[in-house]
A = this chain, B = another copy of it.
C-alpha cells in the first residue's frame, strides 16, 4: 500500500505567544510528528544538549551545507549561523512523519520558496495586552527593552497574513487541537491524495 508522505509544517509567532507550550502539547498527543532540530555555529551554553536544543556544527561544516544546497533555510545573527538541514527533514517526510520547523518569519519564507507544499502556521497571542503581560511577567528587562520586544512582536505579527493558517493562542488545549486538525486536513488535500485515489480506482 502507498505510504503517504508526511506534512512539512513551518511554525512561527512572536516571542512570548506560547509556541513551545503548544508544540509540546501537540507532540504529546501525536506520535507521528517530529520537531526539526536546527543547526548552529554558535557555542553551546549550559542549558544546551547537542542534537536536542541544536546541532552544534563548525562554521566550515555550515558553509559546506549552504554551498551544497543542504539548508532549507538559514540566517546569520550576531556572527553565528542558524539553519535547518534539509536531509534530516526530507528523510522524515519520506518515511511518512510530519515535521515541524519552529522558525522565524524570514526563514519561514525561504522554506516556502524551496518547498511550496510546506504548510505555514502563524501563532498569535489572544491580544496585544496579553502579549505585553507575558513578556513583562517572564522577563527581568527594563521597560525600554520590553517596549522594543513588543515592537518586534507587532512587526512580526504583521507578516501573519503571508502564512497559510493563523492560530490564536487563547487556550493551549484548543490551539493544540487546531494545530493537529491542520495537519490532518492537509493530509486529506486532493493534491496529496492523488496516489491513494489511483489505488482505489485502479485496484480492480
Contact = CB atoms under 8 A, between A and B. Distances in A.
A166 B178 contact: no
A115 interface: no
Number of copies of this protein chain within its complex: 2
Contact of A167 (B129, B165, B188): B188
Interface stretch (A47-55, A101-109, A141-149, A154-162): A154-162
Interface in A157-204: 157-158, 160-168, 177-178, 180-182, 184-190, 193-194, 196-197, 199-201, 203-204
B161 A190 contact: yes
B127 A200 contact: yes
A128 interface: yes
Given A190-B122, A190-B161, A166 B201 contact: no
